Structure 1
Amino acid sequence: MMQRHHYLGAGPLCGAQIRYFIESERYGILGGLAFSAAAWRVSARDRWIGWDDSSRQQHLNQVVNNSRFLILPMVKVKNLASHALAMAAKQLTIDWPAQYAIKPVLLETFVEQGRFSGTCYKAANWMCLGQTKGRGRQDKNNRKLLPVKDVYVYPLRNNATTVLSAGTVRRKRTINTSAIDWADEEFGCAQFGDQRRVKRLLTIARDFYARPQANIPQACQTRAKTKATYRFFENDHHTMDTILAPHYEATRMRCEQEKIVFAVQDTSSLNYSTHPATENLGPISTQKDGVIGLLLHDTMAFNDDGTPLGLLDVQCWARDSDDFGKRHRRRQLPIEQKESYKWLKSYQAVAALQAKCPDTMFVCVGDREADIFELFDMALGDPNGPQLLVRARHDRLLDEDNGLLWEHVQRQAVSGIQEIKVPRQKKRKARIAQLEIRFAQVQLKPPSWKNKLKPLTVWAILAQEINCPDDVKEPLQWMLLTTIEVTTFEQATQKLAWYAGRWGIEVYHRTLKSGCKIEERQLGSADRIEACLAIDMVIAWRIYYLTKLGREVPDVPCTVFFEDAEWKALVAYKTQQSIPPDNPPTLREAIRLLASLGGFLGRKGDGEPGTKSLWLGFQRLDDLAVMWKIMIPHIDPKNKSSPSVQYPRYG
């Protein structure tokens, strides 16, 4: 039966296995299921569980793979598939221990995108964790010839992740007390199978952090370290995912300490046209033979104060030039085959994190590109999942004859007036804008070509500028859609403030491109660039994090971020005193001193330093610290008396 009707045939299946018929007393055989040993390594699953190599090897036999599922094509019974899955899962908990003396804790399966939508698994309460990479066990050359599949899991116990991750070595993370520890905090738990590789990763990260804008030879400084760095990026095991995995874990622990976390998604293009010999790049413009490079879609976590907590998900890919021209078929293609599926994949990554941090509220924030009906459908389909806050792009049709979205919300009464400060731009003066706030609960109808989807109930918030100056050509206007209930003016303005915080990821991307010079990396192939990019992305986050933390906790000692040689050399250089004080400066004082090396003047109207002056300051600080370490042993101990240091007063 399977050989004849299932597109993969009957097998062979791997390892331990059990097969079931789906049988009706009246109609006979309706289909069948097969369960077998779990896949050895699945990034989305392993990350959700929290596995390292040793814990995977220890607990993999407690995961069972639903390797075949078939309902005969002539059988048309509503809800039969999801009902059969539920019955099979219940029966398997009895039969598998009886057959193999092992109690299964988790079921997994893989649903090929474009061929199936996974509806029956969703209806049976299976969770989609992400996608496979399109690689098999024999894909040593990373050719990705296999179709990409969605990864679904079904926990057979409420504490499935706890049971499966038992024995995983998790080092206790604490707040840094010295700057040299930061690399170990973000990368020290990397699973490369060889601790020497981990040490090399830490060395590369520290070198890149000390000189953010330098090329690789300049950052590494010695021939031996430069050669070792290039070899590190050539290793097929050092991928973007494996390098970022420990940083994701560090981000999770920072998120656990917050009541609310904003998971902001955005897409950026990386231009490598100046390196045409680089392999496996793709077009990033609207022209098939135009600019080449990579596309980057990342999700950054921010707390309520706008401080970046770290990356939650990163997707990097090169477009296939053969895909040009498929835009006219976009309505016929399932969402899984569209580039816009990146938003759903990142949402799934945040949903997996939400399950691990039940006391933290996650809100996924996206710009107008994220106004995707399937994304809202996914968010509303999981009552325990992250919330969604998106700027509307489409004037969607509403259910119950309410007309179009914009017209309907504009008909609502004004709930209040919100004043905001609009900063000055090149051709626009700074001004105080007055916004009329309206909101309403709406039911969005699915597009006509997606009639299988049901209407969705969300809340819409409209902010429109009034009394606009004559020289302003485009008054401010925002329409936000959210899965969070909005019934008051205060709640509406709160969501507007939340969305305004999305600007933080734009600052991060500017730091990544201009501060870390990622588009100038010359590594010969896209895979090596992605591995290097993983480190650069954490470096850029660290610089941005330092900038924000100096404003959030300005009075903590600067030793939280700066090692002794760094702050002492910095103080000595700026104060022209060879003997540093006994007590280190505060974090705010040290950051402003560092920024002054990068051109920050600290005038009354300058405010606090930004990321640009900091990354420029880092370029000089490393040399100052090295010279300090060389010269300090030669200072006569008898003359070491700590002077009274007056730090420069700014503003």
Structure 2
Amino acid sequence: MKTLSHNPGASIAEVSQDAAEAKAISRLLQNSEINEENVMNAYRTETLRQMKQTGEYMFLCVQDTTEIKFGNRGKTPGLGAYNREQTKGLLVHSALVLTPSGLPMGLLHQKIWARELGLKAQRKVSRPYEEKENYKWTETAQASVQGLPSDMHLIHVGDREADFFEFLSTLQADNQSYVIRSMQNRITEAEGRMWDDVCKQPVAGEIVVSIPRDTRRGVPTRETTLAIRFLTDTVQVPAHLKQKRAGYSPLTCTIIHAVETTPLEGQAPIEWFLFTNLPITTVDEASEKVAWYVQRWKIERFHYILKSGCEIEKMQARDGDRLKKLILFYSIIAAQLLHLTYLARQQPDAPCTEVMNDEEWKVLHRIAYKTNTLPPNPPTLHESVMALAKLGGFLGRKGDGDPGAKVLWRGIRAFQTVFESYRYLL
């Protein structure tokens, strides 16, 4: 893991110092005793330790799925097929845990699998819920709370893919909390529609939120104001579940309507309908849940680092099982990079020794400032992260803002190359 983290994005041959180390990594991937479950459990223990150190008692557990596409590798066994079976790859569903303020702490669970070639049946209504692909949401939620200290509580956060009755009902039955973006205008016990009913409520207040940049439309990060409405109601069990007599009961929850008051010119306003089973009686409580949902996009940054930073889709391995191990290893590295990026933003004045040892920060200082004179005390976390980012090509001009995770991993790659050379010369 240490060797891989020195140069995320490089092949096994490139990160290895010699043929022996490359062979050792290959043997690690082949070792059946070192499986994803063992690695995840060890990493999860460390994540829980770091969560406890924050002093927080409540955390956001954000789930999402991404496709890892390996192109047309028809001869690689163990891969699934996508896009009419033209592209081979694997599916990765992760649970990223955050503090309520949005500091990524790490992964609590990850499921990696290959969708069977041409299989659409997992979406059929007739299949038991436990056999459907979307059971991943319940499986991950239940795995995420395993071993959680009794004084910690998770709030499960998901996008519209998570809005299906079986998942919401299971969370409710397990006394787990959630904030889920609604995809369906569900029917209430009073035969109304939940979206329609909440939109009839008066505006309870407003909240200002930061919207991440949209690279596809060329829209930078911006702040915008959302008008908040909320309503507690009970939704019916969907007809297809009633027909199956699956034993589900109507679901009482609160729906929050958040809509942009001043959208960008020529753009539709941001509009979210959010389900939650947390008690809401005031606009402040409703606004808090909206702010939590905004943090969901951090898992998209995690996927971005995994693909664009660690370049996991360029990895080479003989079969799907070895690729699964590589995905998990690099997922841990990506989560650590994400943590460092936002830790420097939220705790800029903390000493850099929170994440670097004495030898590392001293070498970094010499490289960044081209001097052999060291400061009496370690630099701040912000200063060290800026130094790493500049090694990755960040200019740090006025108006550039904070460095992102991608430029930071480039800086870490450059630093590790120099650092290893420095140690070799000693």
TM-score range, shorter chain: over 0.9
For 2:132 and 2:185, the matched residues in 1 are separated by 21
* Aligned equivalent of 1:626: 420
User: Which of 381, 399, 403 matches 2:189?
Assistant: 399
1:88 counterpart residue number:
none
Question: How big is the shift at 1:611?
Answer: 0.6
The code of the aligned residue for 2:232 comes to Q
Please report the RMSD computed on the Cα atoms of aligned residues, expressed in angstroms: 1.9
1:399 corresponds to which letter in structure 2? E
Q: Secondary structure at the match of 1:504?
A: helix
Taking a change above 3 Å as real, the CA distance of residues 433 and 397 of structure 1, as seen in their structure-2 partners, is same
User: In structure 1, what is the Cα distance between the partners aligned to 2:418 and 2:122?
Assistant: 55
Which of residues 259, 266, 269 in structure 1 aligns to 2:57? Answer: 259
SS of the counterpart of 2:146?
helix
Q: 2:354 aligns with which of 557, 560, 566?
A: 560
Deviations 1:548-607 (A, max 9, x none): 112222223222322333222222122221343443222211111011000111122122
Alpha-carbon spacing, 1:549–1:478, altered in 2? closer, same or farther (3 Å): same
1:435 correspondence with 2:226:
yes
**Structure 2 residue 67 is matched with structure 1 residue 269:** yes
Distance 1:223 1:582, change over 3 A: farther
Identity of aligned residues (%): 34
Contact 1:565 1:625 in 2 (8 A): no
Secondary structure of 2:178's aligned partner? strand
Deviates more, 1:214-223 or 1:249-258: 249-258
Residue equivalent to 1:612: 406
Give the 3 Å change call, closer, same or farther, for CA 224–432 of structure 1 in structure 2.
closer
Q: How many residues align?
A: 418
Q: Does 1:515 align with 2:296?
A: no
Matched, 1:496 2:290: yes
2:119 corresponds to which residue?
323
135, 138, 143: which one pairs with 1:341? 135
> Contact (CA 8 Å) 1:240, 1:533: kept in 2 or not?
no
Corresponding letter in the other structure for 2:20: A
* Aligned counterpart for 2:25 among listed residues 218, 222, 229: 229
CA distance in 1, matches of 2:343, 2:182: 32
Partner of 2:342: 548
Distance across 2 between alignment mates of 1:421 and 1:308:
17
Partner of 1:389: 179
Provide the C-alpha distance between the structure 2 equivalents of 1:248 and 1:546, rounded to a whole number of angstroms: 17
Q: Does 1:444 align with 2:225?
A: no
Where in structure 2 are the equivalents of 1:49-60 lying within 5 Å? Answer: none
Which letter does structure 1 place at the counterpart of 2:194? Answer: L
Q: Does the Cα contact within 8 Å between 2:209 and 2:291 map onto a contact in 1?
A: no
CA contact (8 A) 2:72 2:87 kept: no
Q: Deviations over 1:4-46 (max 9, x none)?
A: xxxxxxxxxxxxxxxxxxxxxxxxxxxxxxxxxxxxxxxxxxx
Q: Is the 8 A contact 1:420 1:432 kept in 2?
A: yes
Q: Distance in 2 between matches of 1:338 and 1:224?
A: 43
Question: Comparing 205-214 with 363-372, which one deviates more in the overlay?
Answer: 205-214
Q: What corresponds to 2:171 in structure 1?
A: 379
In the alignment, is the contact (CA less than 8 A) between 2:262 and 2:269 conserved in 1?
Answer: no
The one-letter code of the counterpart of 2:257 is: L
Partner of 2:7: 211
In the other structure, the counterpart of 1:308 is 104
Question: What is the rounded CA distance, in whole Å, between the counterparts of 1:616 and 1:429 in structure 2?
Answer: 22
Partner of 1:410: 199
C-alpha separation in 2, matches of 1:248 and 1:576? 39
Q: Deviations over 1:343-364 (max 9, x none)?
A: 01011113324xx322122100
1:501–1:377 Cα change, 3 Å: same
Give the Cα–Cα distance (whole angstroms) in 2 for the partners of residues 506 and 598 of structure 1. 22
